[in-house]
């Protein structure tokens, strides 16, 4: 009876293996996993079709803007010296310019200036010199203005070298070589107005006053094409950065270099 029972049990097991091979395979795999080390990590590859958990970022079109030759086709000059260095160059020449600093606490304009009154009456100065370099917090020069009242001249009516030196330094620091031709007119106290590539210089006798002279040097886009080019290259269109080294490399040069 015992032998018959063992034979029947073997037949039943063999029959179940034939009818359900999947269950047998599953049990075999389970036994294999049970024997595997518990510390073995199981690598799960991400599904490429699954949505990304990273936030989507939009890229400004200005980063991939296609160059437009029509908008960038004008020659425009730029300052190659910072306001701070220009003020320093005048100071080194003996002109007691103030330090380059904010004009006031309520605006972002920066400036340095020099003013000296040599003679005056009860109402106004009779002889004085004034010069101001105006710019912004990035160090860019925006405009230079000067005014001389009752300037000292030599026997031939020419501006004395001590005053002319101020205009020579300003023009030299601007690095626009063709503007040096205007110094002869300034020395002889003759009106001169010069404009080229968006830069301008003016030295004129003040209307209604025979011995007052105004000087202006700066950048100004006049024609429509110059305005378009200036807008195209304007730093206001740049993306902001918190890296000060990058700002310095893109900003106005800190040293004057007039190499062509």
Whether residue 148 has pLDDT greater than 70 = yes
Comparing 21 with 253, the larger pLDDT belongs to: 21
pTM given for the model: 0.63
Q: Mind listing the pLDDT tens digit for each residue in 7-39?
A: 556 555 555 655 555 555 555 555 544 555 555
Residue 101: strand, helix, or coil: strand
pLDDT > 70 in the chain, percent:
55
Is the pLDDT reported for residue 211 higher than 60?
Answer: yes
- How would DSSP label each residue in 190-255? --EEEEETTEEEEEEEPTT-TTEEEEEEEE---SHHHHHHHHHT-GGGSPP-S-HHHHHHHS--SS
Decide if pLDDT at 216 tops 70.
yes
Q: What residues contact residue 128 under an 8 Å CB cut-off, 6+ apart?
A: 115, 116, 117, 118, 119, 120, 147, 148, 149, 150
Which range (32-36, 72-76, 86-90, 165-169) has the least confidence? 32-36
Tens-place pLDDT, residues 153-199: 999 999 999 899 999 999 999 988 888 999 999 999 999 998 887 78
Q: Are 209 and 192 in contact (CB under 8 A)?
A: no
């Amino acid at each position: 009876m015992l032998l018959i029972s063992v034979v029947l049990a073997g037949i039943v097991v063999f029959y179940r293996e034939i009818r359900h091979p999947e269950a047998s395979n599953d049990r075999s795999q389970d036994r294999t996993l049970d024997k595997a080390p518990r510390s073995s990590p199981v690598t799960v590859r991400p599904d490429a079709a699954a949505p990304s958990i990273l936030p989507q970022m939009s890229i400004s079109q200005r980063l991939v803007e296609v160059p437009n030759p029509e908008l960038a086709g004008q020659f425009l000059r730029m300052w190659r010296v910072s306001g701070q260095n220009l003020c320093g160059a005048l100071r080194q020449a003996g002109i007691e310019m103030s330090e380059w600093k904010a004009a006031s606490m309520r605006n972002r304009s920066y400036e340095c200036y020099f003013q000296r009154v040599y003679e005056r009456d009860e109402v106004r100065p009779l002889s004085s010199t004034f010069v101001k370099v105006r710019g912004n917090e990035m160090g860019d020069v925006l405009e230079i203005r000067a005014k001389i009242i009752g300037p000292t001249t030599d026997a031939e009516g020419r501006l004395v070298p001590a005053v002319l030196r101020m205009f020579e330094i300003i023009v030299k620091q601007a690095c626009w070589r063709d503007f040096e031709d205007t110094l002869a007119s300034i020395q002889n106290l003759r009106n001169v107005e010069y404009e080229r590539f968006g830069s301008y210089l003016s030295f004129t006798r003040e209307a209604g006053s025979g011995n007052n002279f105004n000087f202006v040097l700066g950048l100004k886009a006049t024609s429509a094409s110059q305005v378009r080019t200036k807008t195209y290259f304007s730093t206001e269109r740049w993306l902001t950065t918190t890296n000060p080294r990058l700002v310095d490399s893109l900003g106005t040069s800190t040293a004057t270099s007039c190499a062509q």
